[in-house]
Chain A
Amino acid sequence: MKCAEFLNELTNYLDGALDARTKSELEDHLAWCHNCYVVCDTTRKTIEIYRNQELYELPEDLRGRLQTAIMSKCSAHKKSGPQKV
């Protein structure tokens, strides 16, 4: 496997979506190509760090206000009868 082929398969590899043969070829490539190993490892870390950090948490007070507003609007919508929202 060449570096360009590795790059094409990287997303499938990280998502566990490769067949056994391609996965084995890719891992053979990673064993000797340090650059591709680093790209693979740091891409996986990129995904993990974004998943772990939860950048935009919804504060509980705002969450409560939004839930109240949503249910109040839904109730008004129901009373006013079916219409396009």
Chain B
Amino acid sequence: MSAIQPNVQQPVSEEMELVRRAKRSDDKAFEELVRRYDRNVFRIAQHITQNREDAEDVVQDAFLKAYGNLAQFQEQSKFYTWLVRIAVNEALMRLRRRRPERMVSLDEDVKTEDDSLPREVADWSPNPEQMYNQGELRDILTRTIQGLPAGFRTVFVLRDVEGLSTEETAQALELSIPAVKSRLLRARLQLRERLSRYFQKRASGDGEKSSGDGDQ
């Protein structure tokens, strides 16, 4: 079984050269950094805020903040990791504003371990891509990930969707590596559990496509 590998792989030196040019007030260089990462920041922001307008605002605010604070970037991490840290903070701030009744924090998930224990253990068959059309599949995936607590969702998105390494995810979220690993395991298992209700092999073949998974 092949390992899940990070999918953002830019040569650091080439990128750091862009960053240094941007630090010397070369706006073309900064614009190149925007073009390189705006899609990623938008995806992360929308996953966290679950709101399109907020995600658009987060993209603008995160890049503006990065621009205004470039001098403080010490080049001890990748620029992208530093940018993600800014974007995650902006996104969490907006999520808190929209949901003041709920405590939104990366530490909110410390409940019991039971929520991640596997219950559904049937194979997925046929392949989910064959079982549902593109629109239905995206709808299922969106609703399912939206049901995860923000802390789990954020770790899963950075590590598994955006492909940051465990160490980069820990840096971006200011969490320890064991904390990232623990949240990642529980996020993966909870998503798997919820998706199994849609994708598992059905002995009865009744074609039921939705079981209502109690998303928040």
Contact = CB atoms under 8 A, between A and B. Distances in A.
B141 A55 contact: yes
A22 interface: no
A43 B195 CA distance: 10
Given A56-B43, A74-B30, A42 B192 contact: yes
A5 to B, nearest CB: 13
A31 interface: no
A66 B34 CA distance: 10
Interface residues of A, number: 48
Contacts, number: 146
Interface string B133-174: 000011001100100000000001000110100100000000
A11 B67 contact: no
Interface in A18-74: 34-35, 38-51, 53-58, 62-63, 66-67, 69-71, 73-74
The interface size bin for chain B is: 35 or more
A47 B30 CA distance: 32
Contact of B166 (A15, A39, A40): A15
Nearest to B189: A43
A85 B7 contact: no
Nearest to B116: A7
Nearest to B124: A42
22 contacts: A10-B185, A13-B1, A15-B4, A16-B5, A41-B124, A42-B123, A42-B192, A47-B4, A50-B156, A51-B160, A54-B43, A56-B43, A63-B42, A66-B42, A67-B34, A67-B35, A69-B60, A70-B59, A70-B64, A71-B27, A74-B67, A77-B68
Interface of A: 7-8, 10-17, 34-35, 38-51, 53-58, 62-63, 66-67, 69-71, 73-75, 77-78, 82-85
Interface of B: 1-5, 7, 25, 27, 30-31, 34-35, 38-39, 42-43, 46-47, 55-56, 59-60, 63-65, 67-69, 117-118, 121-124, 128-129, 137-138, 141-142, 145, 156, 160-161, 163, 166, 181, 184-185, 188-189, 191-192, 195-196, 199
